[in-house]
Structure 1
Amino acid sequence: MKFLIKRLRTTEFSLTLLFIVGFLALASTSGGVLFSGQSIRSFLTYLAIPILIGLAQMVVLAVGQLNLAVGAMGGATAALMAHMMVSWEAPIWLAMVTGIVAATLMGALNGALVVATGLNGFIITLGTLTILEGVQYAFVRSFTIDSYPDAVKAFGKISFFNIPTVFMIAVVTALILAWFYRTNITARKMLASGANPLAARLSGVSNKKSIFLAHTLSGTLLGVAAIVTITSLGGINRSVGGDWLLASFAAPIIAGVLMSGGVVAIYGTVMAASVIRLVDIARAQYSLDPSVVNLSIGTVVLSTVALSEWRRRRAEIKRQKFVEVVDE
C-alpha cells in the first residue's frame, strides 16, 4: 500500500494523469475528431521529435551540462542527409548511416571541447550552434530540399494499427536508453559524475570521460531525430531544428531532471513531451497566440527549476541537521 501511495506521488504519475485528462478534454471539445485514426497518426508522428530531442537534452543535463546546439545539430544532420541523397545521389542507407555518424561526431566534438577547455557546455554549444547553423545553410541555402527518394517519405507514412513507424523508433530508442541507464556500469558512472563530481572523482570515476560520453550520446540521439525528421517532413530547409531548443529543455526539466545533474527520467520525459504536444494541439484547436503558448511553457519550466532547487536545498539542510545531531 505504501509503495502504491509513493508511486502515485511521483512526477511520472502526475504527467500521465495530466496527459490522459488533457487528451480526453481536447477530444471531447473537438467532437471526437481527436479519436480518429488520422488524428492519432498525426499526433504520434509529430510527438516522435519532441521525445528524441528531450532525451538528447536529458543525457547532457544528467552530468550537469547543457546543450544549446540540439536544433542546429539536428538541422545540419538532416540537411546533410538530404544533400547527399539529392546532390550526390547517395543510397538511402549510406545517407542515413552518415547522418548518425555525423551527429555523433558533433556531440563528441562538443564533449571534447568542454573537457579540453574546462568551460561549461553552455558556452561551447552556443559556439557550435552558430557554426552548425552556417553548415546547415551551406547545404540548403534558401531553398527546400524535397526531391530525395520517395521511399524516404513513404517510410514516414507507414503505420501499424495507427501507430507510425517514426513514433515506434522514438519509443524503441527510449527503451534502449532506459536499459542502458538501468544496467550499464558506464551509465551509472555518468550519473555519479552529475550527482557529485568530487565524490565521483574520489571513487575513481573520470568526470571528463562522463561529460564526453554524455555529449556524444546526445549527438547520437539527435542523429536519430534527424532521420525521423527527414522521413516525416516533406522537405528540409534552413528552418528545421530552429524550434527544438525550448522543447528539448522543457520535457526533461518538467519530468524532474535536475539542472545540477545526477538524475534521468526517461518515462517522465516521454510523458512531458506528450503533454507539450497536447498544448500544441490546443493552440491550433482554439487559435491561441503562439507567443502565449511559449510563455506558458517557459513559465512552467522556470517554476519547475525553482521548485527542484528549493527541494534540493531543503533536503541538504535536513541532511546537515541530521549529521549535527549524530555528531552530538
Structure 2
Amino acid sequence: MNTQEFKRLLRWESMLTLVLVIEFVCFANLSPYFLDVWTLSDATFNFTERAVIALPLALLIIAGEIDISVAAIIALASVAMGLGAAAGVQTPGLVAIGLSTGLVAGMINGALVTLGRVPSIVATIGTMTLFRGFAYAVLGDRVLKDYPQSFAKFGQGYATGPLSIELCILIVLAVMFGLFLHITRWGRTIYALGANPTAAKWSGVPVDRYRFLLFAVTGLCSGLSAVLLTSRLGSTRPSIAQGWELEIISMVILGGVSVWGGKGTIPGVLLAAVVLGFVNFGLGLLNVPGIVMSIIVGTLLITVVAIPVLAERWWGRPPRRA
C-alpha cells in the first residue's frame, strides 16, 4: 500500500463508509428483513429530518458558532402550522408558515449573536427554552390534528418507487450545501471564519453578516424539518422533536466537523447521518430496548471521535477530517 492509498484509507469519510458497510453486514445477518428495499426506504425516515438541519448546522459550526435551539424551532414552527391548519389554512400556506417561522427564529438567534454580542451557545440555549416554552404555553396538553390530507405527502409520500420525498429533499440539499461549501468563495470564507475570525475580519470579510445568514439558514432548514416531521406524524404536540438537538449535533461532530471550527465536510456529515440512522433502525428491527440503543449509539460516537487521537499517537498524524 503506497502513501496516497494509506492517506485515502485514513480519511474520515472512508472510516464512516467502513462503519456503514459493517452495519449493513451485521444487520443483514441478524435480520432477514433488513435488506428489503421497502424496509431500507422506511429506515431513511430515521435520519432525513434531522439531516436536513445537520447540513446548515455543519456550516455554522465550521464558522465557529453553534445553535442549540434547532429542535425547539421545530416545535415552534409545528405549533404555528397546527394553529394555521385549525384556522383553515391549506397546504401551501402551512408550508409557508413553517418555513417563515423557522426563518424568523433563526434571525432572532443571529441578531442576538451579531448585534447583542451574546455567545452563540448562551443565546441559543436561551432561545431553546423560549421557543419550547412558547409551544407548551400555547398548546398545553392539547394535540392539533386538523391538517388537510394533501399536507401528508411531504412526510409520507414517495417520489418514485421506494424513494421518499423526504430523501429526495435531503439529497438536493446535500448537493447544494456541498457545492456551496467546497466549491465557492463563500464556502472558503466560512472555513476562514472558523479557523481565525480575527484575521478574517481584518481581511475585510463581513464576519457578522456571514454569521447572521448562517443562523438564518439554519432556522429556515429547521422550519423545513418541522414541515416534514409534522407531515409524517400528522399531528402537533409541544414535545415534538424533544431531544433532537443533541442527536443533530452528534451527526455533525461524528461527520468530522471540528467543534473548534474551521474543519469539516458535507459528505462526512451526510455519511454520519446515514450511519446513525441505520444503527437506530437496525437495533429497533431487532427489538433492542431504547436504553440499550442509546448506550450503543453513545459508545459508537465516542469511539469514532476518539479515532483521530489514537491515530495521532500511533502514526503521528490524525485522519484528515476536512
| TM-score relative to the length of structure 2 | 0.88
Residue aligning to 1:162: 162
SS class of match (2:258): coil
Residues 204 and 304 (structure 1 numbering): CA distance in 2 closer, same or farther, change over 3 Å? Answer: farther
CA offsets 1:280-316 (integer angstroms, 9 cap, x no match): 123323433423433443454456666668999x88x
Partners of 1:190 and 1:124 lie apart in 2 by: 21
SS class of match (2:147): coil
Residue aligning to 2:55: 55
Map 1:80-229; keep pairs closer than 5 Å.
Answer: 80-85=80-85, 87-159=86-158, 160-229=160-229
Aligned AA for 1:254? L
SS class of match (1:117): coil
Partners of 1:5 and 1:256 lie apart in 2 by: 18
Any gaps of 5 or more consecutive residues in structure 2? 318-322
Residues 190 and 207, structure 1, Cα contact 8 Å, conserved in 2 = no
TM superposition shift of 1:21: 2.1
SS class of match (2:115): helix
SS class of match (1:257): coil
Any gaps of 5 or more consecutive residues in structure 1? 316-328
Map 1:33-48; keep pairs closer than 5 Å.
Answer: 33-48=33-48
Total equivalences in the alignment: 314
Map 1:252-291; keep pairs closer than 5 Å.
Answer: 252-291=252-291
Residue aligning to 2:13: 12
Residues 148 and 60 (structure 1 numbering): CA distance in 2 closer, same or farther, change over 3 Å? Answer: same
Partners of 1:256 and 1:29 lie apart in 2 by: 29
Aligned AA for 2:262? G
| TM-score relative to the length of structure 1 | 0.87
Residues 83 and 140, structure 1, Cα contact 8 Å, conserved in 2 = no
Residue aligning to 1:28: 29
1:246 and 2:249 are equivalent in the alignment: no
Partners of 2:147 and 2:232 lie apart in 1 by: 13
Residues 68 and 125, structure 2, Cα contact 8 Å, conserved in 1 = yes
TM superposition shift of 1:170: 1.1
Partners of 1:75 and 1:118 lie apart in 2 by: 26
Aligned AA for 1:190? I
Partners of 2:127 and 2:96 lie apart in 1 by: 22
TM superposition shift of 1:34: 1.6
Give me the CA root mean square deviation: 2.5
Question: Alignment identity in percent?
Answer: 24
Partners of 2:96 and 2:311 lie apart in 1 by: 43
